[in-house]
Amino acid sequence: MPSFLDNLKQLIGGDISHNLNRAKIALVNVENGPRTIVEGNAIQLNVAELTTKERETLLPQIIKQAVQEENAILLSDESQTKIQEIEDFEQHPGIDPQLISFAHEKIPVRDRVIWKGALLVRHQHLQGNNQRATELRFDLIGRFGDRAKNITNLCTANYLEQIIRPLWEQLSKQGDSENQKFFDIYESIVTEQPFAVFVSLHETEEEIVREVLSKKELVIKYGWRKLAIHGIGEGNIRKVQAVAEKIRLETGVQPSISIQSEARHIKVLFQFA
């Protein structure tokens, strides 16, 4: 199968550097505009000027390779400022550099950009910039789908430093030199989110209770036995408190409850036997 660079060269119709590092590919749709513009590692592709075959076969391959192999960052016009904000954020004094380093070096390649963006979303929320945080989150979800939605939820709940990094450290001490066990459990965390339930205003208490009881079976199956319920905002805090009481009555398990008033965040943790 042709490499990312080979496919990109074919689409651009000219030679590009083999040392192209993390190209920024902007997709635009401008009738009668230039087909491609290349400036350093910034490449603009005009979808309107591509042939039908290129749009249906070559372009999807490039997008897939860029996302899976982290060869490039895909941008829409309105995304370019947000991506630059994510890259600049790596040097932000308000974030633990070790956490950025962990996300960049230990997290599977396909998710590294998402986690960096999720850290920025969390930072903006903590700074009270809720509108900006929402814009960034929607942008990540628009480009990476449900995976970005899951990761931003996990990041907001501090799962990177409280669950994922300690998991990697523990497995590394146990000789998981290839990180295979870590990757397997990490994947289950991201795709199934078995260790957490995130409450939204649109869900009823009954729906949340059903989700918690369903995930209770998963966490026991994985041997974790802990299940956290998270909510952000005053309305969700009240809802989580009500749900926690119903789960306590249903299971007989007394949860621990932590409320961070400054962040308007509640965490209820059940430890099942």
Per-residue pLDDT of the chain (273 residues; tens, 9 = 90+): 677 777 777 877 765 554 555 566 766 666 777 787 776 666 777 777 888 888 878 887 877 776 665 556 555 544 444 555 565 555 555 677 888 889 888 998 889 888 988 998 888 888 888 777 877 887 787 677 778 888 998 998 888 988 788 888 878 887 776 778 888 888 878 887 668 898 877 889 999 999 999 989 888 887 878 899 988 778 889 999 999 999 999 999 999 999 877 557 888 999 998
Q: Please report where in the chains the tokens 């961070």 appear, as a residue.
A: 260
* pLDDT of res. 4: 73
Is the separation of the CB atoms in 28 and 46 below 8 Å?
yes
Task: Tell me whether residue 83 is exposed, middle or buried, using C-beta atoms within 10 angstroms of its C-beta: 0 to 12, 13 to 18, 19 or more.
Answer: buried
Sheet holding 36-39, edge to edge: 36-39, 42-46, 23-28, 72-76
What count of Cα atoms within 13 Å lies in the side-chain half-sphere of residue 66? Answer: 23
CATH for 194-273 is: 3.30.110.20
Q: Where are the beta strands (DSSP E) in the chain?
A: 23-28, 36-39, 42-46, 72-76, 196-199, 226-232, 256-260, 265-271
* Residue 265 neighbours by CB distance under 10 Å: 21
* pLDDT of res. 81: 47
* pLDDT of res. 94: 65
Question: What CA–CA distance (Å, rounded) separates 108 from 254?
Answer: 36
Question: What CA–CA distance (Å, rounded) separates 228 from 270?
Answer: 6
* pLDDT of res. 116: 87
Location of each CATH 3.30.110.20 domain in the chain: 194-273
* pLDDT of res. 42: 66
Question: What CA–CA distance (Å, rounded) separates 240 from 206?
Answer: 11
* pLDDT of res. 255: 95
Q: Please report where in the chains the tokens 């192999």 appear, as a residue.
A: 69
* Residue 144 neighbours by CB distance under 10 Å: 20
Dihedral angle, C-alpha 237, 241, 246, 252, nearest 10 °:
130
